[in-house]
Amino acid sequence: MDRRAAILRTRPLAALGTAGHDPRIQVSMASLRALDPLSRGISFLPNQPARSVLNGRHASRIRGRGLDFEDLREYQPSDDVRSIDWKVTARSGKPYVRVYSEERERPALIVVDQRMSMFFGTKLNTKAVTAAECAAVVGFRILDQGDRVGGIVFGDDHIAEIRPKRSRAVLTRLLGRICDANALLHANAPDKTPMAINTVLQSVQRIASRDFLVIVISDFDAVDARTRYLMRAISQRNDLVLGLVTDPAAQEFPKGELLTASDGVMQAQLDLSDEKTHHQVQTMTRGRVAQVLDYQNHMRVSILPLSTAEETLPQMQRLLGCVRP
């Protein structure tokens, strides 16, 4: 069994147990809807607060809605020379500029990972719950700012696509798909070969052709060189934000724990009381996080780091420079 594939699907046996109705383990439509009125200060518009991780001083600035061509008119001394339409100018013998207006709506695509690797948590929530709550907050805020919202929800062997619309019903459908996918995660779920995140990013490419706000919320299990290529291609035509969901164990796996790992076919137990095994697991999990964080330095990507050890909404408010109400 490939060691990397096995370790990245590891989950503590005692930490999760049977899901039941524990909101730290599984979400409900009611719990996601409850986030709407509590998160009204958050914005995904280009004009970000100074402390926001989406501000240009911290990461890649959100460019905002695209522009629609509106009209041609004669050049005036105060106009930007870059707006001159040289073909029309050559035909008419007079300088003309192209006039644009901002699009009234901008599509947003929220991509939510609900694979089995997300069913992991050592402190407060599972990664799957943190991702679901983040997606709900993002969806409510984008719709309230007047933009279209849609999404992609994927698990180990299923994917649902919802085209962006400026519709509360569409957002409700997206949240319902998240709840359905989340409900499939439990400690006794059968092992399956997980869907590659590259497959999902190819779907993002097909839907988000240009000028989308794309927010991918995941632990980014099993990223590779192809992932980097797809991320770069998406970010060149859209604003791309990565909601990187981690658990404290990714930085410091507890020693002495007995973990079960699976690649979807075979299972193995990892004894973290063994110093060598513990070091290998630690190095691998830290390396994956560092690899995703590095995307921000080499392409137009913003990172929203989310931890399962904290409540989702307060840390989003802090990361986005908002004062908690």
Residues 187 and 237 in one domain: yes
**What's the chain's Rg over C-alpha atoms?**
22
* pLDDT tens by residue, 32-78: 999 999 988 898 877 777 778 887 654 556 666 555 555 788 888 87
Residue 2's pLDDT is what?
A: 36
DSSP helix/strand/coil, 274: coil
* Domain C-terminal end among 53, 82, 102: 102
* Domain C-terminal end among 44, 76, 102: 102
Angle at 32 between CA 289 and CA 49, to 5 degrees: 60
Residues 190 and 220 in one domain: yes
Residues 130 and 80 in one domain: no
Residues 21 and 144 in one domain: yes
The answer as to whether 325 is a domain residue is no
Return per-residue pLDDT of the chain as tens, 325 residues.
Answer: 333 333 333 444 334 444 457 888 999 999 999 999 998 889 887 777 777 888 765 455 666 655 555 578 888 887 777 788 888 888 888 898 887 655 567 899 999 999 999 998 888 999 999 999 999 999 999 999 889 999 999 999 999 999 999 999 999 999 999 999 999 998 787 878 899 999 999 999 999 988 899 999 999 988 899 999 999 999 999 999 999 999 887 666 555 555 554 444 445 555 555 555 444 555 556 556 667 777 777 777 889 999 999 999 999 999 998 865 4
Residues 186 and 80 in one domain: no
Residues 141 and 75 in one domain: no
Q: Give the integer Cα–Cα distance in Å for 170 and 109.
A: 12
301: domain CATH number is 3.40.50.410
The answer as to whether 266 is a domain residue is yes
Q: Give the integer Cα–Cα distance in Å for 154 and 157.
A: 8
Domains in the chain, number? 2
Give the tokens for residue 290.
């560092």
Q: Give the integer Cα–Cα distance in Å for 143 and 164.
A: 10
Q: Give the integer Cα–Cα distance in Å for 41 and 54.
A: 15
Residues 45 and 164 in one domain: yes
The answer as to whether 191 is a domain residue is yes
Residues 96 and 27 in one domain: no
Name residues whose C-beta falls within 8 Å of residue 254's C-beta, 6 or more positions apart in sequence: 122, 272
Residues 95 and 177 in one domain: no
| CA-to-CA dists, residue 75 to 94, 150, 216, angstroms | 8, 40, 42
Domain carrying residue 95: 67-102
Residues 155 and 25 in one domain: yes
The answer as to whether 324 is a domain residue is no
